[in-house]
Structure formats: structure tokens, C-alpha cells
Amino acid sequence: MNDKLLSSAVPALSRGLDVVEHLASTGASTTLSQLARNMGRSVSEIQRTVGCLLERGYLVRDDAGVLRLSSKLYRLAQAHPPHRELLARAYPAMADYARTTGESVHLAILAEGKLLLVAEAPGTGLARVSLQLGAVLDPELTVSGRLLLAFTPPALSGVTRIAPAVAKKIQAIRAQGHEFSESDYVEGILDLGVPILTPEGEAIAALTTSWLPLRKAKVRWTELLPPLQECARRIAANY
């Protein structure tokens, strides 16, 4: 592609992605004029972009002129989910863990220096913790993220700087092979995580079980650790 074509194509693509990402982040339906105002652009700047997205089926518009995202992005993601092989190999072991312990368990990876939640097996207990798949979090503020940082070479983690306090936690995690902690994001939730490792000791993913302790119940993370470790071993053996 020559420079002239690049100079015209890239801004158009960028505007299209801006529209899609804005609508995805807000989850709201909107008119063209509202969309332009919320994005800090003029109607003329995005009108042709919106028209293209409508034509290609990424947006739909009702009789009142209200725009919303279609299901096309979801269908594309389902047709080619990221890390398909990892998820296929991991889910049976995760489902067994959730069924036998009653607690939810989720799988996370590092992606561009962030923690990405890619799979979950819901628990069966009275109070179950469910997390938003596809959520992107700060790895330093999660058990899963710190596990991955502990067992991923710095050059491959995508994280350029780690806070000193977190670096100390990572050293401890590397020594003990797991972490139990209160959630940094949601008050009251307890997290217990272990890494899924290659034979060379590098992280493939992190496996974390999260639960809400019932009143007067004892802290049972020591009971959950062995089955969680066995779940991680099963996934690593299948990888």
C-alpha cells in the first residue's frame, strides 16, 4: 500500500474503530448526533463511517434513527475465540473443580501487559462469584496477575515497571507457588490462585478461585488449595 493510500485509509479505519469501541464501552443506543457529541466529533466527521458500519452489519438502526451495535462482533468472536486450544483443554478440569468444591474458578492470561479473563467455571454454592469474561485488569492488583508476573519472564510480560511492594509479593509467590489474598477490586471476596506452568516453569495461564465467605464460616483456603493445584496440573498436562 502506498503512502497516499495509507494516509487516507488509516484515519477512516481509526474512526470506525473509535465508533465501535465507544458503543461497546457505553453499551447504549444513540442517535447519530448524540454519538458525534459524545465522541467529541462533528456529525459530518462520522456520518460516512457510521454508514459503512451499517452497510457491513456492525451497526443496526431502528425506524427512529437510533443506532446500536449488532451481534456481528459477538458472532465473529465466537467463530474464532482467542486461545481456543487453551480453553478447550482447560474447561473440563475447571468444571470438575467447580463441581467438587462448589466454588467458581476462572482462567486468566497476560495480554499486552494487562490481565485478561478468558474463561470461568461457575460454582454451585449458595453464594457464587461470577466475573466478566473479557475483562481487562491491572495485573498488579489481582492474584491472577501477580501469579503470572511471578512466572513470566519480564521481557515477555509486557509490564515495564512493577511497584516495589508488588515486587516483594511476587518474590513470595514464586517461592510458595500460590497466593491467597482478599480481592483488591471487590470488598469481601477472597481469591486463591495457582499458576499453570510449562515443564520449564513458565506460566501458561493463572487459575484462581474466588468466593464470598459465609458468616461464621472458617477460612477454608487450605482445603481449596490441593484441588486447585490438581486442576492446574491437569490443564498443564493437556496443554
* pLDDT 10s digits, 137-195: 899 999 999 999 999 988 788 887 888 999 999 999 999 999 999 888 888 788 999 99
Q: Are 141 and 119 in contact (CB under 8 A)?
A: no
Beta strand 67-69 with 104-111 is: unpaired
- pTM beyond 0.85: the answer is no
pLDDT tier for residue 13 given thresholds of 50, 70 and 90: confident
| DSSP three-state, residue 57 | coil
CATH number attached to the domain at 81-238 = 3.30.450.40
What's the rounded Cα separation, in Å, for the pair 10 and 87? 33
At 125 the pLDDT is 72
Question: 64 φ, ψ to 5°?
Answer: -90, 0
What's the rounded Cα separation, in Å, for the pair 174 and 195? 10
Q: Pseudo-torsion of CA 77, 78, 79, 81, nearest 10°?
A: 60
Residues 6+ apart with CB under 8 A from 208: 105, 106, 108, 142, 143, 144, 147, 191, 192, 193, 194
Q: What percent of the chain has pLDDT over 90?
A: 46
Residue 71, strand partner residues: none
At 80 the pLDDT is 57
pLDDT tier for residue 10 given thresholds of 50, 70 and 90: confident
Residue range 44-60: mean pLDDT, rounded: 91
| DSSP three-state, residue 101 | helix
At 95 the pLDDT is 96
- Any idea which residue has 515477555 for its cell? 156
At 56 the pLDDT is 92
Is the pLDDT at 53 greater than 80, yes or no?
Answer: yes
Q: Are 89 and 239 in contact (CB under 8 A)?
A: yes
Q: Pseudo-torsion of CA 10, 12, 13, 19, nearest 10°?
A: 140
Class of domain 3-76: mainly alpha
What's the rounded Cα separation, in Å, for the pair 179 and 41? 46
Residue range 96-119: mean pLDDT, rounded: 91
Q: Where are the domains of the chain?
A: 3-76, 81-238
pLDDT tier for residue 81 given thresholds of 50, 70 and 90: low
Centre a 10 Å sphere on the Cβ of residue 6 and count the other Cβ atoms it contains: 10
Cα-to-chain-centroid distance, residue 117: 3
- By C-alpha distance, which of 183, 205, 203 is closest to 192? 183
Is the pLDDT at 201 greater than 70, yes or no?
Answer: yes
Is the pLDDT at 216 greater than 80, yes or no?
Answer: no
More confident residue, 216 or 93: 93
More confident residue, 152 or 83: 152
| DSSP three-state, residue 136 | strand
Note whether 3-76 and 81-238 share their fold: no
